[in-house]
Amino acid sequence: MRAQGKRQTWWDSPKFTIDCVLANVNRQLEADGCVLERLEAGCKLITPDHLRAGDFVKVQLWLEGEEVFIDIRLAEVRSVHEHWIAVEMIQVSPDDRMRLKRFIDDPAAMRIEEPALLNHLLIRA
């Protein structure tokens, strides 16, 4: 029997973190931010071209006027094109998902014809 805690899996701690601020809500959520690579000694700022479709990342999504970010513990990179990264949110706490939904549904928020896709995020890094 293996000692618990010794084995690390891909969903435990992604190598990359995207730190971003929600910039626009239309059919897809859009954010502006940066990509960080986790190293033993801390983090290093990198360019989006280090990411590939299928990579798993952590996303810290900040909302205007809020002091705590939405913690997307696990997201999958769907595509990278120039400075745009498309991710699909996989693991978000129910509380953070509700905070995001409330923010998007706020009457003061930009009105759109169709509801935004809550599981998809397009990030300019």
pLDDT per residue rounded down to tens, the chain (125 residues): 344 444 444 445 789 999 999 998 877 899 999 999 999 888 999 999 999 999 999 999 999 999 999 999 999 999 999 999 999 999 999 999 999 988 888 765 555 555 566 789 999 99
Residue 107 has a pLDDT of 60
Q: CB–CB of 109/103 below 8 Å?
A: yes
Residue 84 has a pLDDT of 96
What residues pair up with 24 in beta bridges, in sequence order? 30
Distance of CA 63 to the CA centre of its chain: 12
Return the SS3 of 98: helix
Helices (H) and strands (E) in the chain, counts: 1, 7
Average model confidence (pLDDT) for the chain?
Answer: 85
Q: How far apart are CA 58 and CA 36, in angstroms?
A: 10
Amino acid at 7: R
Single pTM value for the model: 0.83
* Structural domain spans, the chain: 16-124
DSSP state of 118: E
